[in-house]
Amino acid sequence: MRYSVKGGSPEKIVTECIVVSIWRNGSLSDEAKILDIKTKKLISGLVNSGDAIGNLGDTLLVYRPPNVSAKRILLAGAGDRKKFNASSAKKLIESIFKSCRKIGASSIHLCLSSCEPYDRDKHWFAARISQEAEVTGYSYDKTKSKKVKPWAIKGISISQEPRRQKKGLEASLKRGQAIGRAINQARELGNLPGNICTPTYLAQQANDLAFKHRKISSKVLSEKQMTRLGMGSLLSVSAGSAEEAKLIVIQYQGTKSDSKPYAIVGKGITFDTGGISLKSSGGMDEMKFDMCGAASVIATMGCIAELKLPINVVGLVAAAENMPGSKATKPGDVVTTMSGKTVEILNTDAEGRLVLCDALTYVERFKPRTIIDIATLTGAAVATFGSHANALLSNDQPLANAILNCGEQCLDRAWQLPLWDEYQPLLKSNFADIANIGGPRAGTITAACFLSRFTEKQKWAHLDIAGSAWLSGAQKGATGRPVSLLVEYLSQQKS
């Protein structure tokens, strides 16, 4: 898809669909006013007909408008002018692209420069437009025999005067496009079934990234190598599976090699049956999404390479399949982690923390400035936050604040839960240094408490994305979160 910035009067723009916005009180945006005059009050006629067309998210398509070069005009309701903020803008853009996709328009021109959200600038708005266009264009068909007809969209342009801002806005369109594509990549990996998207498949994705980007290198540790490193906890998860676990290391070098990196670590359970602590069968298919943290790491690494961020980043993926079997880990088994700490595995379904703890110990060797892990870790996070918030827990408040701010900025929001010492005793074990579960209460917090035992010396934050990473029901599918949050955070860091 091509994105561009066009100047000139809206009635002269040649496009399949020109989009202008209407406020809820019926007032026309500046561009809509121009089109209204040219079309001899076609638009104000519709607005004054009494039909409500200015509600946020509503759209109305006008075919073959007179005296205008565009084939169609799409009137997009923008809601209350005074309340038009970043979230409204997101909703407006989503509704526009959904309508355009439905009619199959192959070119679109957006005249929205007079309705920028009051809490963001032009560049944010432009990047959001291309991001949403990419995300709207995605559909899953990898494992369908009939392929979905792709959205035959060739070009999207936005209008902007004066011309001197063109370059900057085009850069923002590019940035949004890169983020949108990365979100789609994470969605695709999440949506792929567990019999295709195995630990080996994820490792291949990392190698593909290294092949594609000069500044990315990848390395995949086998079970044998992990045994040598003493990763008894990670390996306990894959013990019951025929699929070999992989620890995937992706390094992006965007600045001089001695600049300490930022680290992102993803949970990559390519299918979570629960192991011997077997899950109930209802809805178990959704546990193919248990690698969405890993998917967000892989997609983010590719995206920052495309954006050429001037920092170093290391992305780690702890990939394994959690299965029951004669060699599977049993409740009560005690394993030794790479850190030397022993863990009593009281529930084999609390496997995410078992793979992450060894990955978090391993990542120390890169001397990261900060570490963020991303994991579909607990059902309790779904119960607490539903699908809207990423749960955030951290041992470093400045880092937590940065993540909260970035989430607001890109609307991939996080909400912080406490990581107080008072919760730590819930992990007491009579037979090991620590138990892998903390009982039925405060599940998201005790899971983070477990991880915190392996990040004591680090500035570390944990994102539990169990609720945000995918949707259930009719819209079942991966959301690509929190790719935009991670990209936003890394974009704001310095080398």
The residue type found at 308 is K
Tokens of 93: 């853009």
Among 159, 378, 394, 452, binds ligand BES (CB under 6 A): 378
Phi, psi angle pair for 60, to nearest 5°: -140, 130
Q: Using CB atoms within 10 A of its CB, is residue 440 exposed (0-12), middle (13-18) or buried (19+)?
A: exposed
Rounded distance, CA 317 to CA 295, Å?
A: 9
User: Rule CB under 6 A: is residue 376 a binding residue for ligand BES?
Assistant: yes
For Zn ion, the closer CB: 1 or 284: 284
Write out the binding residues for Zn ion, residues 323-382 only, by CB under 5 A: 352
User: Could you tell me which of 290, 422, 306 has the C-alpha nearest to residue 355?
Assistant: 290
The answer to whether residue 417 forms part of the interface with ligand BES (CB under 6 A) is no
The region of 15-23, 171-179, 379-387, 403-411 touching ligand BES under the rule CB under 6 A is 379-387
Q: What are phi and psi of 84, to 5 degrees?
A: -75, 95
Q: Binder to Mn ion among 31, 188, 243, 272 (CB under 5 A)?
A: 272
d(CA 267, CA 352): 6
Among 349, 373, 412, 488, binds ligand BES (CB under 6 A): 349
Our CB check for ligand BES shows the closer of 254 and 274 to be: 274
CA of residue 177 relative to chain centroid, distance: 14
Q: What does the DSSP assignment read for 343-405?
A: EEES-TT--HHHHHHHHHHHHGGG--S-EEEEE---HHHHHHHTTT-EEEEES-HHHHHHHHH
Among 58, 188, 290, 344, contact with Zn ion (rule: CB under 5 A)? 290
**Residue 279 catalytic?**
yes
Decide if 40 is catalytic: no
Catalytic-labelled residue, pool 6, 38, 128, 353: 353
- Give the containing element (helix H, strand E) for 165: none
Whether the CB-CB separation of 463 and 223 falls below 8 Å is answered with no
Residue 172 lies near ligand BES (rule: CB under 6 A): no
Window of 55-63, 235-243, 305-313, 347-355 that interacts with ligand BES by CB under 6 A? 347-355
Binding-site member from 96, 466, 483, 485 for ligand BES (CB under 6 A): 466
Closest-approach residue to Zn ion (CB): 272
290 binds ligand BES (CB under 6 A): yes
Binding residue for Mn ion (CB under 5 A) from 349, 358, 412, 464?
Answer: 349
In 3D space, the residue among 365, 406, 177, 398 whose CA is nearest the CA of residue 265 turns out to be 365
Is residue 435 close enough to count as binding ligand BES by CB under 6 A? no
Q: How far is the CB of 230 from Zn ion (least distance, A)?
A: 23
Residue 185 binds to ligand BES (criterion: CB under 6 A): no
> Which one of Zn ion, ligand BES, Mn ion, none is in contact with 27 (Cβ closer than 5 to 8 A by kind)?
none
Helix, strand, coil shares of the chain as percentages rounded to 5?
40, 20, 40
* Per annotation, catalytic residue among 120, 219, 279, 330: 279
Residues that bind ligand BES (CB under 6 A): 272, 290, 347, 349-352, 376-380, 382, 437, 443, 466
Residues that bind Zn ion (CB under 5 A): 269, 272, 290, 352
Q: Which residues are catalytic?
A: 279, 353
